[in-house]
Amino acid sequence: MITYVTATDEDDGTNAEWTYTIVDRLSNEFTVDGTNGEVTTLRPLDREEQDTYEVYTSAVDHGESPRSGHTYVTVTLIDINDNPPVFESDSYKATVPEQTSDIFVITVK
């Protein structure tokens, strides 16, 4: 679980009962529990690919003419150290004269 959303409804009976849903049906990153509003991730997310998500969430009541409320959940990914340092080149070549010390060789990047 990453967070939970809560709604209130001032009506009575089924008019004041509701189900939570995520509005963007194409979203395959997050889901919300219809009953308790718990928002969870559906797959591992990569901060280096996308670091924040706006999850548009709604509560739809069970009245005869259902009414709904909406909110945005902003999810920010925390970095984990999953990438190693990478050199610009797989190999480097340098030449230096023999019989010398403390001589510049090359800068690797």
Q: State which residue, 11 or 54, has the beta carbon closest to Ca ion.
A: 11
Q: Reading across the β-sheet that carries 68-76, which strands appear in turn?
A: 18-22, 52-61, 68-76
What whole-number distance in Å separates Cα of residue 48 and Cα of residue 26?
21
- Judged by CB under 5 A, the residue of 3, 4, 7, 9 near Ca ion is 9
Residue 62 CB contacts under 8 Å (≥ 6 apart), including other chains: 14, 15, 17, 18, 19
- Rounded least distance, CB 107 to Ca ion, Å: 26
Handedness of CA 43, 44, 45, 46 (dihedral sign): negative
> With binding defined as CB under 5 A, does residue 22 bind Ca ion?
no
Stretch that binds Ca ion, among 22-30, 37-45, 75-83, 101-109 (CB under 5 A): 75-83
C-beta closer to Ca ion: residue 12 or 102? 12
Minimum CB–partner distance for residue 17 and Ca ion (Å): 8
